Structure 1
Amino acid sequence: MPITGLLLGTALGFAMQRGRFCVTGAFRDVWISRNTRWLTAFMMVIAIQSAGIFALAALGVIDLQSKAFPWLATIVGAFIFGFAIVLAGGCATGTYYRSGEGLVGSWLALVFYALFSSIMKTGPLAQLTALLRGITVRQGNIYQTLGISPWVLVALLAAVVVIMARHHLARPGFKMAALPPEKTGLAHLLFEKPWGAFASAAVIGIIAIAAWPLSSATGRNDGLGITTPSANLIGFLTTGNIKLVDWGVYLVLGLLLGSFAAAKTSGEFRVRVPDAKQAVKSVAGGALMGVGASLAGGCTIGNAMVQTAQFSFQGWVAFGVMILGTGAAAKLTIRRTGSTAPAVAKPARSSVGV
């Protein structure tokens, strides 16, 4: 049932907003503050999802298919996308959940991201996208090329993530001033207590696993995805073709609902209007995100989170090049130093955990 996409998207939007899970910040921190805590959390999502989907594939619940690697489009598109998310102030998913928080700049970025995704996939530039993505090599995933079991790579990735996580957990944690809780029990945990990077990653990893069988049940053999559903949503709004409203479209609509619910119940929703300069950057960043993600075959979710979990060449190459693109934009546009991790909209009421 496509409605499961709405429910799962709502859960994802809620988790990302409450966890302040900003992939742009994770990539940018590598260059600006030399901090890999949020990058580690992002890789934790990949590792959890990878273990889950290969287990589901082994049980015959889902079918993981290998495709040719469109190397040129992936490299060009991923760099454009990585550069664009700094301008837009968030990646595709971050733009959705920040729109739910009331950031008008994210609304602008989201509209132009979806619009240019549609232009690149089914509009005037669709032939250019097809041409560039038609330049391929046959290798579709890493473990088949190496001739090994995917579980070897799952174990290796898990080991790397554990080492990275232990490194950060062993360091003295930054504790924010604790305020007396206003809520108790589950309400305090869900709507008030700050969610740590690694706890958020665990929740999002489980959601990413659940996306596969739920999506496959509707005939969409894939996991989480943002770019194509966003393009399909524009297609539906402009043509009225109800066939475009699939599980993925319900997913992105759920992202908005979930993030709005999380921001509203935690007191973090507030309409914030950007100045003219930031508005222009949001529009440009959103448009370039749509171009880059369409060429690369996915955004930070579809490529850097989902394709990587399958150990596809496209996913891991896109992941690395996106970080390079983010670094280039950060060096050109950010003049101050220090952490760029997103801050919550009000003082935390308890210490930040994992």
Structure 2
Amino acid sequence: MDAAAFQSLHTTVLWAAFAVSALFGAIAHRTHFCTMGAISDIVNMGDWTRMRMWIMAIGVAMVGFHAMAALGWIDPAQTIYYSGRVIWLSALLGGALFGFGMVLASGCGSKTLIRIGAGSLKSLVVFFVMGVAAFATLRGITAVLRDRTVDRVAFQMEPGSALPDWLAAQLGWAPATTTLIVGVGIGAVLIAWAAAGEGVQRSAQAWLAGVGIGGCAAAMWWVSGRLGFVPEHPETLEAVYLATNSGRMESLTFTAPMAYTLDWLIYFSDQNKVLTLGVVSVLGVVAGAFVHAVATRTFRWEGFAGTRDTALHIVGALCMGVGGVTAMGCTIGQGLSGLSTLSVTSAVAFAGIVLGALAGLRFQLWLLEHD
């Protein structure tokens, strides 16, 4: 591949990622897809419909990821979730901090971007605070704290922390066969469980959310891992995944990309700062939600209700920025994209997010009782 074709493919990957993330934003806005809302519905009303939507999305993404892996289209070992070093304490505490913060901030990172597209100015504040906190936890003061504390607590899994590969090594099975049986099998079970819910069976919106959101995550795996994979860079002659911040295959995630987006905006004139899959995903979700909100006449300007509302959202944004990077992902990054790989670290982070959200809901109830 010559330099011109390489650059053309790079641009194609960015546009494809923008299109997938814009579709994600439109579907999420249309269906009210929200992790915090799903947990809140269960706690406050005993309604599992939105949780089943989320589980169906995980199942769809899981089937898509492992089907592509079994076909040889993508290499599961080339994701950040594959590492054999399981930083379980970072995932658990970071996930809990993120889950607590998303309750205070009225939604997770993806929901924040969707609300911005629909006219929420307070979500714009959450975005900036969360982005700065995430950047500090990637490279700044909280990054040093993270590296010297929770990141040092881990255990090793060989050949990696993805369940199919670990089982293949333990049982002596062929990796492709194990990937197909375990990955697609578990994903199919999750879809079946979600579809069995009474609220899902009668709701086209629930099916759109489950299949659509999960399909977007799987599509992004294809964009970065198949379309964007170049076996031989025209200059370095090394294999490369185009337009990714990690240098590996990536799917939808929003905590670290918020930091990268702020970095790109602040240093826009610096030629070393280029668009990446994460940055265009952030922009795409906002664009998709905005287009749908305008088309359905649901675009509304929204501000803070008062001082306490402002303070809670800022604290929540700080918690999400620090927690999301510490856990290596948000409700979408770990709770959808990560779980689609059947990563043990992602499962721990998922549990932490749920526990943190439950604590956040209890805290909100405590505030109401003391008003």
TM bucket normalised to smaller: 0.7 to 0.9
1:197 aligned residue (188, 200, 206): 206
Q: Is the 8 A contact 1:121 1:129 kept in 2?
A: no
* 2:284 corresponding residue in structure 1: 254
Question: CA distance change for structure 1 residues 104 and 219 in 2, over 3 Å: closer, same or farther?
Answer: closer
Q: TM-score, normalised by structure 2?
A: 0.80
| One-letter amino acid matched to 2:165 | Q
The more displaced of 235-244 and 116-125 is 235-244
1:10 aligns with 2:22: yes
* 1:306 corresponding residue in structure 2: 337
CA-to-aligned-CA distance 1:297-318 (integer Å, 9 cap, x gap): 0000110101111110111111
The size of the alignment, in residue pairs, is: 316
Deviation of the 1:196 alpha carbon: 1.4
1:92 aligned residue (96, 101, 109): 109
What is the RMSD of the two structures over their aligned residues, measured on CA atoms?
A: 2.2
State the distance in 1 between where 2:360 and 2:21 align.
29
Q: Is the 8 A contact 2:53 2:194 kept in 1?
A: no
The more displaced of 121-130 and 46-55 is 121-130
* 1:163 corresponding residue in structure 2: 193
Question: CA distance change for structure 1 residues 247 and 93 in 2, over 3 Å: closer, same or farther?
Answer: same
SS at match of 1:324: helix
List runs of 5+ in structure 2 lacking aligned partners. 1-12, 172-177, 229-241
* 1:138 corresponding residue in structure 2: 156
Deviation of the 1:236 alpha carbon: 2.2
| One-letter amino acid matched to 1:316 | A
CA-to-aligned-CA distance 1:60-99 (integer Å, 9 cap, x gap): 2211122121111111100000100000000110010011
- The sequence identity of aligned pairs, in percent, is 26
State the distance in 1 between where 2:116 and 2:319 align.
18
Deviation of the 1:165 alpha carbon: 2.5
Question: CA distance change for structure 1 residues 108 and 144 in 2, over 3 Å: closer, same or farther?
Answer: same
* 1:350 corresponding residue in structure 2: none
Q: Is the 8 A contact 1:129 1:294 kept in 2?
A: no
* 2:219 corresponding residue in structure 1: 210
The more displaced of 231-240 and 323-332 is 231-240
The more displaced of 144-153 and 29-38 is 144-153
Deviation of the 1:46 alpha carbon: 0.9
The more displaced of 248-257 and 213-222 is 213-222
1:238 aligns with 2:266: yes
Q: Is the 8 A contact 1:232 1:245 kept in 2?
A: no
* 1:154 corresponding residue in structure 2: 184
* 1:330 corresponding residue in structure 2: 361
Describe how 1:50-89 pairs up with structure 2 within 5 A: 50-65=62-77, 66-67=82-83, 68-89=85-106
Q: Is the 8 A contact 2:126 2:314 kept in 1?
A: yes
State the distance in 1 between where 2:274 and 2:100 align.
29
CA-to-aligned-CA distance 1:91-121 (integer Å, 9 cap, x gap): 1100100111111221111111111111110
| One-letter amino acid matched to 2:197 | H
Deviation of the 1:45 alpha carbon: 0.7
* 1:347 corresponding residue in structure 2: none
State the distance in 1 between where 2:328 and 2:139 align.
14
Deviation of the 1:43 alpha carbon: 0.9
